[in-house]
Structure 1
Amino acid sequence: MDERIASLPEVLETLDGEKVTSAEQWQQKRRPEIFKCFREHVFGREPCPDRLSFHMISEEQLKETIKSKKVRLTYVGPGGEGTFNVHLLIPCQSRQPVPAFLLINHQTPESPLSTSFWPTDEIVSRGYAAIVIHVQEIDPDFDDGFKNGVHALFDAPGEPRPKNAWGTLAAWAWGASRVMDYLETDPDIDQHRVAVVGHSRGGKTALWAGAVDQRFKMVVSNNSGCTGAALSRGKKGETIKAINTRFPHWFAENYKAFNDKEYDMPFDQHMLLSLIAPRLLYVTSATEDDWSDPESEFLSLLLTSPVYQLFGLKGLGESPYPSPEEPIIGEHVGYHLRTGQHDLVEYDWKCFLDFADRFL
């Protein structure tokens, strides 16, 4: 057996040694244990807003078949008030609420509406609303001691941050959950069929958003690599020490205790992916993305199968590592390896949409 697999914590065994054999055990006992572990040691503890409100900034008919909305979300914490915007493009062919893709976008807010990274024309033409948040509006992506963005409104002033305090990626995931709060009020959107999508650091964020907020019916992690979909044990390319050194603001301070100590962790990333079960989960890799380590991403997803099986779903079963452009679709779980570099492109979106057409 692969050394790293042999050393992995057992997903289906509780902290007190009880074997998990049912979906009920998973939901009531084992899942909360794993979730608490990632919240405490990796992403940090997010707060609840004191108040949350929504304001329609603009609403217009772009074409006969597409409606555009821009909504401002306002939240209140102990340190004051903050806002960020949500952009929606909604197909109007149906009189019924439509399913949606929410992109956690870490690119610049000035990027065009429809690109290969965010092909809104294709998404809307397939019958889905295309919704995007720009994470810089929630928490700018640089290390300034958490004085900017949403953290400043919730951290206790003048006090040292706890080592389990939320980092930047948890703040972005928090923002995605606030969008879900809004979508529950929007009659154009089917709140029960919302997929959250992210690429790279956004892919890590999408996984945590899906773990924290089970209202997301589908979670898509594109090229998320270290502390995303990829197993940390034996991983090639980026390591925990490398990511914590380069991006010290992304995670809780506690996570730095595992620099160069991956085999000492009481968790690994297959356990994060398992928190999505039995909902829809799609993971992608790219052939030239050695920093993310495609084989570790695939192996991690494969190891979620026992959890999906608790719900009567096969997951990916024992599928072999695929060739490029040959997606593997299991029960509620999908994966593809794409030829090319670390990116989010139209082929990836085609696969996400095909998967959503089948299950969402």
Structure 2
Amino acid sequence: MKSNLIFSIIFFLSIQISYGLQNVNYDESLVPKYSLPNVLVSNSGETINNRQKWETIRRPEILEIFSSQMYGRTPMEEIPVSYELLTENKDALDGKATLRQVKMTFSKNGKAVNALLLLMLPNHVKGKVPIFVGYNFKGNHSTLTDSSIIYSDNFKLVRDSTHQDWIRGVQSGRWDYEQIIKRGYGVATMCYHDIFPDKEGFKDQSIAALFSDYEDSQDRGDNWEAIGAWAWGSSRIVDYLETLPEIDIKKIALLGHSRQGKAALWAGALDPRFSLVISNNSGEGGAALSKREFGETIAIVSSIKPAWFAKNYNAYHHKEKEMPFDQHMLLALIAPRPLYVASAEEDLWADPKGEYLAAYHASPVYALYKKKGFNSDIAPEVHKPIYHDIGYHIRAGIHDVNAYDWYCYLNFTDKHFK
């Protein structure tokens, strides 16, 4: 954990130095006055005051905005996939769980991409198992010290052979399997590099390269990039889970941290099979309001290579005031399904206040379904979680996922799943 803390501090300091400390605002008094688009007023000015109008008028409008202006359009072409069970250990975690490793092979147009799914299921649960779906950052081998965990092919593209990220269990603190399994949930996790390597120059090794319009679509302003691809991959995990009789497909929780928190929100907006969505420290381009201009900015996050966002999003560099949308509208697309947003006290880069406010401003859409969001624009104190139909907590510490986060997520899912 100490090495993770040091890495996080160095990482965020390097980002800030790269873009100039003077260009990153951490002063609330310098946040400009801003006005958010009304999530319940249509493009034509019609007030949206019931669920039918939301679902037939406003929701499609907002989905189109994010597809065309920010995350890009997800291709509708079907990519064939095959599944191969590589290993099964029914005595994992000292007999508490069954661990499976499954190779998913996506293939089309003479190309193939392999992705390794790690599935951990509780042995004590009688009946169908509710499950958390989420990407890991450093390979399935990083989530626990088990020597049987297979390294993924794409991880070789992003880390050289001497890098410490090859160490088993290097991010085990982010995956509290013991607590999750004890509470009766399963976990389906995959290295996000398997779907789209997060290193410039390897897009041809991503699933995007399998689609028929891959070459012709690169210059399109609304072409999807990494976040869109990661969101697509999350849904393909659900496709596989639907083939397993022991999984409760009506109780699938999607969890994403940081850039994967952004992808989780977009996946949740696109795919209603995610019955609960969790955004952990997702910040700019995720749960945080862009118009607040606090911490990371659009100009910074959309300049990261490889590209995470559609090219059209670049039009809003230093022009947040001109945006006809903001992230509260993205969160609203999850309604009426349970939504949880989490922040960390020291993670100013991700703008914790902006993350809470986005959830607050999404609450009127939940009210259309008689679901409970937030009635105050003042965020709760540290370690005072809210477990409504929209949930939230802010904890002490840095940009990370830890046991306290999982404790809150499990409480929230217990409320809505059990």
Amino acid at match of 1:208: W
Amino acid at match of 1:216: F
Give unpaired runs (5+ residues) of structure 1.
Answer: none
Counterpart in 1 of 2:123? Answer: 92
Report the more deviating stretch, 157-166 or 201-210: 157-166
Matched residue of 1:245: which SS? Answer: coil
Matched residue of 1:82: which SS? Answer: strand
* Alpha-carbon distance, 1:190 to partner: 0.5
**Structure 1 counterpart of 2:353, from 295, 300, 325:** 295
Counterpart in 1 of 2:182? Answer: 125
How far apart, CA to CA, are the structure 1 residues paired with 2:78 and 2:100? Answer: 24
Counterpart in 2 of 1:53? Answer: 82
* Alpha-carbon distance, 1:342 to partner: 0.9
Matched, 1:189 2:234: no
Matched, 1:224 2:252: no
Matched residue of 2:84: which SS? Answer: strand
Matched residue of 2:330: which SS? Answer: helix
**Structure 2 counterpart of 1:164, from 222, 234, 241:** 222
How far apart, CA to CA, are the structure 2 residues paired with 1:140 and 1:17? Answer: 42
Report the more deviating stretch, 248-257 or 176-185: 248-257
Counting matched residue pairs gives: 358
Kept in 1, the 8 Å contact 2:130–2:251? The answer is yes
Amino acid at match of 1:105: N
Matched residue of 1:192: which SS? Answer: strand
Change (3 A) 1:186 1:160: closer
Counterpart in 1 of 2:9? Answer: none
* Alpha-carbon distance, 1:280 to partner: 0.8
Matched, 1:267 2:325: yes
Report the more deviating stretch, 108-117 or 90-99: 108-117
Matches within 5 A, 1:1-360: 7-47=35-75, 48-63=77-92, 64-78=95-109, 80-113=111-144, 115-144=172-201, 146-154=203-211, 156=213, 158-159=215-216, 161=218, 162-247=220-305, 249-318=307-376, 320-330=378-388, 332-360=389-417
Amino acid at match of 1:165: N
Name the larger-Rg structure. 2
* Alpha-carbon distance, 1:319 to partner: 5.7
How far apart, CA to CA, are the structure 2 residues paired with 1:180 and 1:157? Answer: 24
How far apart, CA to CA, are the structure 2 residues paired with 1:344 and 1:60? Answer: 26
Kept in 1, the 8 Å contact 2:79–2:108? The answer is yes
How far apart, CA to CA, are the structure 1 residues paired with 2:328 and 2:362? Answer: 6
Change (3 A) 1:158 1:21: closer
Change (3 A) 1:4 1:55: farther
* Alpha-carbon distance, 1:313 to partner: 1.1
Change (3 A) 1:275 1:5: farther
Amino acid at match of 1:94: V
Kept in 1, the 8 Å contact 2:106–2:207? The answer is no
Kept in 2, the 8 Å contact 1:104–1:206? The answer is no
Amino acid at match of 1:46: T
* Alpha-carbon distance, 1:88 to partner: 0.6
RMSD over equivalenced CA pairs, Å: 1.9
Amino acid at match of 1:11: V
Instruction: State the Cα deviation string for residues 167-189 of structure 1 (Å, max 9, x = none).
Output: 11111111100001111111121
Instruction: State the Cα deviation string for residues 224-278 of structure 1 (Å, max 9, x = none).
Output: 1001000000231100001112345111111111111111111100000001010
Instruction: State the Cα deviation string for residues 111-159 of structure 1 (Å, max 9, x = none).
Output: 1327221111111111000110111111100222733311222263653
Instruction: State the Cα deviation string for residues 269-323 of structure 1 (Å, max 9, x = none).
Output: 0000001010010001111111011111111111111000000112122263111
* Alpha-carbon distance, 1:80 to partner: 2.6
How far apart, CA to CA, are the structure 1 residues paired with 2:213 and 2:372? Answer: 46
Kept in 2, the 8 Å contact 1:104–1:196? The answer is no
TM-score (norm. length: structure 1): 0.94
The share of aligned pairs that are identical, in percent, is 41
Counterpart in 1 of 2:22? Answer: none
Change (3 A) 1:46 1:76: farther
Q: Is the helix fraction higher in 1 or 2?
A: 2
